[in-house]
């Protein structure tokens, strides 16, 4: 949406965020690992969702009122046709509030994970999961003598 400048504002495609999160993982029978993570990101931009201030004049957008930018900036008529209980499309015309410019954007993600321990051959695996392999001593089998 950035190249379309739907609010007549040129903003960067690159942004920075401050991450914060929490997670929980537990292992069952030393083979199955279940996890839950939640992360909150606060950004330094108000254009993650491409909406910050007010609706722009469609005639000033690239391509004019019939262009792609104007159609993507104002999809209220399509939504109203599908669900007449939504506010009337006239509420979304030039100068109407489109976003909240007083706060930057933030977003929350939540992830559920599952993993299964495969029989591995690395030193890490041998040290941590020797109970699976048995109490075999791993080392040199024989030494060459000259």
Whether 41 is in a domain gets the answer: yes
Whether 132 is in a domain gets the answer: no
The answer to whether the CB of 4 falls within 8 A of the CB of 72 is yes
Whether 146 is in a domain gets the answer: no
pLDDT digits (tens, 9 = 90+) for 61-105: 777 777 787 777 777 767 777 777 877 777 777 787 878 889 899
* Domain tally, the chain: 1
Instruction: Please tell me the distance from the alpha carbon of residue 60 to that of residue 73, in angstroms, as a whole number.
Output: 12
Q: Work out whether strand 17-28 and strand 106-116 pair parallel, antiparallel, or are unpaired.
A: unpaired
pLDDT digits (tens, 9 = 90+) for 21-58: 999 999 888 789 999 999 999 999 888 888 888 887 77
Whether 134 is in a domain gets the answer: no
Q: What are phi and psi of 38, to 5 degrees?
A: -135, 130
Whether 30 is in a domain gets the answer: yes
Task: Output the six-digit token pair for 27.
Answer: 């292992």
Q: Which residue has the higher pLDDT, 141 or 43?
A: 43
Whether 69 is in a domain gets the answer: yes
Locus of tokens 């029989």: 119
Range of the domain at 7: 2-119
Q: 69-94: buried (b, 16+ CB within 10 Å) or exposed (e) per residue?
A: bbbebbebeeebeeeeeeeeeeebee
Most confident stretch, 87-91, 127-131, 142-146: 87-91
Whether 131 is in a domain gets the answer: no
């Amino acid at each position: 949406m950035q190249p379309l400048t739907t609010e007549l504002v040129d903003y960067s495609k690159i942004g920075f965020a401050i991450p914060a999160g929490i997670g929980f993982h537990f292992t069952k029978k030393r083979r199955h690992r279940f996890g839950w993570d939640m992360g909150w990101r606060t950004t330094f931009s108000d254009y993650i969702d491409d909406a910050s201030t007010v609706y722009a004049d469609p005639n000033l957008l690239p391509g004019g009122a019939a262009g792609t930018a104007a159609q993507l900036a104002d999809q209220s008529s399509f939504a109203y046709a599908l669900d007449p209980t939504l506010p009337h499309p006239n509420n979304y015309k030039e100068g109407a509030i489109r976003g909240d410019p007083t706060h930057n954007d933030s977003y929350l993600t939540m992830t559920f994970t599952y993993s299964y321990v495969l029989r591995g051959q690395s030193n890490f695996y041998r040290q941590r999961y020797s109970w699976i392999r048995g109490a075999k001593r791993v080392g040199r089998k024989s030494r060459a003598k000259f």
